């Protein structure tokens, strides 16, 4: 019978059988799936696992720390952090086109992860010369719906977006370890809780791989990322305080970086940027309705953002369903 405890025991046994005394690597994205998959593998084989977190500088406030501190504290995982913030900033410099942003981020992610994987392989070889403990395995947080979507074939790595590491060169060919293959999202969350992962991580709403880069309409700059991060943190804090996290599928917060409007703040006229709130209700993100948030919550978010983020002088609400609007603005 299905209990979270049984699932964990069963997966740990399978992982041990698959990996033996081999070494394994796992890319953490900050999302639920890779975190739970990594935590399960850690339970099974301990220090034979190395996790890699590529910090591309496009996560929201506190999310990198969540991985680097909270996740590590909760699991004891051996973590390598790659600071790629400047590299991604350079690669995205001057780029406004959404698909171009996605391509660049996907390409850079593969390159950075590839190098990190090579470093881990070399490190393991140096620690354990001749012991035959080479890094042969790669953890993927593939869920059951992903398996179904890709035709259900075994061992086929589905490459849906950049944080699924596809396209690695032949000499970095890993055998996949996919401990979540039989699970649905709510089951993954239950496993994550049972493994003691931080609740903020376990209940994180969907967040796109390209991160805040596709929530800045216009070119991505460090200053614009700062503005958006500040506004987003306020919106998230107020939605959480109002107890609305479980009612909302996700709420992209978008910076219209190339738009300015006139405002009056403090002592004088301002010429600032609008922030868009895009709260949506959905079952699977294929279709969505805009969420009827309480006016007092909207009011609080608007007041706080315009008071606390000086570059923003207007907060607007997106009242478009999907279709015709997508959930993200880019």
First to last CA, the chain: 43
Q: Using the rule CB under 6 A, which residue among 208, 272, 274, 279 binds ligand XMP?
A: 208
- Window contacting ligand XMP (CB under 6 A); options: 52-60, 181-189, 264-272, 319-327: 319-327
For ligand XMP, the binding residues in 74-133 under the rule CB under 6 A are 102
Residue 30 assigned as binding residue: yes
| Residue 328 sits in the site that holds ligand XMP (CB under 6 A) | yes
Residue 29 assigned as binding residue: yes
Where are any strands of DSSP class E within the chain?
Answer: 23-28, 49-55, 79-83, 135-139, 175-177, 216-217, 253-256, 261-265, 268-277, 280-281, 289-290, 312-317
* Shortest Å, Cβ 275 to ligand XMP: 17
- Fill in the DSSP letter of residue 206: P
Q: Using the rule CB under 6 A, which residue among 75, 250, 270, 302 binds ligand XMP?
A: 250
Q: Using the rule CB under 6 A, which residue among 30, 38, 57, 210 binds ligand XMP?
A: 210
- Window contacting ligand XMP (CB under 6 A); options: 16-24, 123-131, 176-184, 206-214: 206-214
| Residue 161 sits in the site that holds ligand XMP (CB under 6 A) | yes
Longest dimension (CA), the chain: 71
CA distance 233 to 85: 19
| Residue 145 sits in the site that holds ligand XMP (CB under 6 A) | no
Closest CA to 59 of 237, 241, 229, 246: 229
Residue 32 assigned as binding residue: yes
Tokens of 56: 């591309």
Residue 138 falls in which region: left (phi positive, over 0), alpha (psi -120 to 50) or beta = beta
Residues that bind ligand XMP (CB under 6 A): 102, 161, 206, 208-210, 250, 285, 322, 326-328
């Amino acid at each position: 019978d299905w209990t979270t405890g049984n699932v964990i025991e069963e997966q740990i046994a399978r992982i041990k059988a698959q990996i033996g005394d081999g070494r394994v690597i796992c890319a953490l994205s900050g999302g639920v799936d890779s975190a739970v998959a990594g935590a399960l593998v850690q339970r099974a084989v301990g220090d034979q696992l190395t996790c890699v977190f590529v910090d591309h500088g496009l996560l929201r406030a506190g999310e990198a720390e969540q991985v680097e501190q909270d996740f590590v504290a909760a699991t004891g995982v051996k973590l390598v952090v790659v600071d790629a913030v400047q590299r991604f900033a350079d690669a995205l410099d001057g780029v406004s086109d959404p698909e171009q942003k996605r391509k660049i981020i996907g390409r850079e992610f593969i390159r950075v992860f590839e190098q990190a994987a090579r470093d881990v392989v070399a490190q393991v070889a140096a620690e354990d010369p001749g012991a035959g403990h080479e890094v042969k395995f790669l953890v993927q947080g593939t869920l059951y719906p992903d398996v179904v979507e890709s035709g259900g074939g075994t061992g086929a790595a589905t490459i849906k977006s950049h944080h699924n590491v596809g396209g690695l060169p032949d000499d970095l060919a890993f055998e996949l370890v996919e401990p979540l293959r039989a699970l649905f999202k709510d089951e993954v969350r239950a496993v994550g809780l049972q493994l003691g992962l931080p609740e903020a991580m376990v209940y994180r709403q969907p967040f796109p791989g390209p991160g805040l880069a596709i929530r800045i309409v216009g070119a991505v700059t460090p200053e614009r990322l700062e503005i958006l991060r500040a506004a987003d943190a306020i919106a998230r804090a107020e939605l959480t305080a109002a107890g609305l996290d479980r009612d909302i599928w996700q709420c992209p917060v978008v910076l219209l970086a190339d738009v300015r409007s006139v405002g009056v703040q403090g002592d004088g006229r301002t010429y600032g940027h609008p922030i868009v709130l895009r709260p949506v209700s959905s079952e699977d993100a294929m279709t969505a309705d805009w969420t009827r948030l309480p006016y007092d919550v909207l009011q609080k978010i608007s007041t706080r953002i315009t008071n606390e983020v000086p570059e923003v002088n207007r907060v607007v609400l997106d009242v478009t369903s999907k279709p015709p609007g997508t959930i993200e603005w880019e």
